[in-house]
Amino acid sequence: MPTALLVSPETGLILPNHAAGGCAGYSIDGSYSRSSSKCLPVSPSIIKLNGAAGTLGESTLIKLVAKFYFFSLLVSLSGFVSAAGIDLDPLTVVSTRLDKEVAYAPKNITIITAEQIERSPAKTIPELLSLEAGILSRSTFGNSAVRSTIDIRGFGASSTQNTLILLDGRRLNDVDLSSVNFTSIPIDNIERIEVIRGSGGVLYGDGAVGGVINIITKRASPGKKSVRAKAAYGSFATSELKGALSTATEKYGINIAANYIDSNGYRSNNDLRQRNIQADIRRDHLNGEIFVKTGASNQDLELPGNRTVDPTIGLDELGTDRRGTNTPNDYANEKIEFVTAGIKQKFNNGIDAIIDVGFRHKNQNTFLEQGGFPNSLDTDLDVWSFTPRMKLESALFSTRHNLTFGADIFYYNYNSDTAPTFATINTPVHKVGMDQESYAIYANDLVSLSDSIYLEFGMRIQHINVTAKDQFDATAPGGAFDSGAGLFSKDDTEEMYNLGLRYLFNDALSVYGNVGRSVRFGTIDEIYQFNALFVREFSVIDPQTSKHADIGLNYESETIAGTLSAYYMDLENEIHFNPATFTNLNLDPTERKGVEITVELKPLTNFSINGNYAYLESTFDEGTFKGNEVPLVPNHTASLFADWEMNQYFSLSTTWRYIGKKRFDNDQTNDFGQEIPAYDMWDLKLTGDYQSWSGSFSINNVFDEKAFDFGVRSTGVAGRYNGQPLPERNFTISIGYNFN
């Protein structure tokens, strides 16, 4: 066993040195748990095994160059089109792979607009998403929803790997178990959010098992100029400054948004300092567009740790000291820089072509100390991506086609060092590494068979290659009784598909149905672990596959709209942590099924109300836990959102959210005897606009509900568990000015 241990700030679990990627560990009382929701913002290292770290192999370069040349040749044809004097329509924004006629696709899709975001009392992206049917949000740090997890259709602890999060079409999910940093995205810079439940694998790739969330940022509008500034202050000494500049001519456009958050946080040792900036730069060129999207974020976060309840010794920190901490020195810092550049081209025969490349770098430093066992991790991640694609609209045999096809090429490289303290980080105990190369081709077609029948079908083939290594130094401080895992290499190829049909009874009413197959691959944190003898090793984890079926009914008129949908998912080889064996493994078959209901009413021109309800049932279908419920998944969730435009200056909006009771994490056996309690919260926001001024006042958790939505049971002490409390009643006031 290793001599140096670390403790998860979310659960209070003592983790073996490097802890299988910083996500597994032992509790003080001997219980063990590991899940995505407990992962720190750290990752194991990646070390190139067949060449210098951070370099692409020769075969990879050949493939990249060949594909780039092919698509460049297609785009170069635009010069001929322009020279011929053919008049083309303006190019549309293509940060999404959804078909332009979203209303006809046989899927359950929700679009959240910038106006809805502005009017909502929700202060963070996870809070906003949790108001939608079938979407769960779990917070583990309680400060500006830092490192919150999003769960579509009930995957519990593994939700981060089964819900794909995109920023302008670029993947934010990484090849470890760390959650997406939603706080790094300025919420005021969001143009819209696309939520696709179920069928997202064909267009977006692995990990889209429960669904896809694509966050689209703003861009400049031709002929318009805008300079905006906003300041906000609220509870827990939280202050925020926001600014945005947008200007565009007929040829050029630039949009820049930045914000700064400074907060003491709801908990002790919960300070947050967040700095973000994003830019979108575009230039029209030959009936097309050259674009660059770039940004950076810097986050300093203190980790308050868990609150423990243990009736055997009369301990109830959730009741007597919700805001306290037992980890006053723990912290996690993160820096991210990214850039995406490309060209879009429109042809006269209904073809839109896009060639773009992207790069993202993430550095994370984490220090954890409890019980005299300090641990430090220094992690770097580089992600290179090349995603050429084309959209074609054409008529063939009296049918109209909207065809999307392309290729996704991703290369991931981690380098992570682990040591007892940062003073010894230059002589790490472990340098655990992995390179991953991913290649995929896909095609998806939405066919108008008639004015009332739309057929969609698509296919993706994806191949990944993983190489990993654990460089272990027994002479390093803290390494005397530890061990290394050796070498690892694995290739996997999987197919994804979708097939769906929508029938329109009239302009208001339609029905749809679809079936599909999705895939997720194991992460470095899941393959690098301790075996039953507590010896480090790289384990073979097979790809997880899911077959699903969805049916739904849509109705839309000027005063009422709604969706009723039902789904069933049959999963094979679900990747899961087993607390009985302390290992990650492929489960026997599991299943998800549920119902999602959305109703939108607009009885008056200045008043609207939206309601959502979801019933989720996530169970183990076979094996040791047959018939048991998957932890952290409530059976019932509901929400209401009402918006009243009081007059030309003021509007009042309110939200109510209900989360039903659910099993504690680590309670796959369903025998703990208690559950995380159900709770509901009500938020209120008053917004005002006068000439160039704007302002708002919001109250969140109006009735001061003392709730927690994440907890881990002990398997060693009856009735003992750790929980993460949610903030109590809090206030925010903001004022903004438009310098136009």
Tens digits of residue pLDDT in 119-145: 999 999 999 999 999 999 998 776 788
Kindly state the average pLDDT of the residues 478-504: 93
Beta bridge partners of 360: 338, 383
Kindly state the average pLDDT of the residues 611-637: 94
Output the pTM of the full model. Answer: 0.87
Return the pLDDT at 370: 67
Q: pLDDT tens-digit profile of 181-202?
A: 999 999 999 999 999 998 789 9
The length of the chain, given as a count of residues = 740
Contact 194, 98 (CB under 8 A): yes
Distance CA 65, CA 67 (A): 6
Q: How far is CA 322 from CA 437, 527, 714, in A?
A: 44, 35, 19
Q: Which amino acid is at 320?
A: T
Kind and range of the H or E element at 126?
helix 125-129
Domain made up of 5-51+106-738: CATH architecture: Beta Barrel (2.40)
Distance CA 425, CA 422 (A): 5
Kind and range of the H or E element at 160?
helix 159-162
Distance CA 393, CA 446 (A): 10
Q: pLDDT tens-digit profile of 644-697?
A: 999 999 999 999 999 999 999 999 999 999 999 999 999 999 999 999 999 999
Return the pLDDT at 247: 95
Return the pLDDT at 101: 60
Q: Would you tell me how many other CB atoms lie within 10 Å of the CB of residue 500? A: 23
Q: How far is CA 115 from CA 119, 145, 255, 643, 691, in A?
A: 6, 21, 18, 11, 18
Would you kindly state where each structural domain of the chain is located, as residue ranges?
Answer: 5-51+106-738
Lowest mean pLDDT among 86-90, 221-225, 358-362: 86-90
Residue 21's nearest CA partner among 584, 490, 665, 723 is 584
**DSSP labels, 268-300:** TT--EEEEEEEEEEEEE-SSEEEEEEEEEEEEE
Instruction: Give 299's pLDDT tier (boundaries 50, 70, 90).
Output: very high
Beta-strand relationship, 163-167 and 211-217: parallel
Q: pLDDT tens-digit profile of 287-297?
A: 899 999 999 99
Q: Would you tell me how many other CB atoms lie within 10 Å of the CB of residue 694? A: 17
Q: Which amino acid is at 18?
A: H
Distance CA 579, CA 672 (A): 13
Q: Would you tell me how many other CB atoms lie within 10 Å of the CB of residue 585? A: 17
Both tokens of 392, joined, read: 């074609």
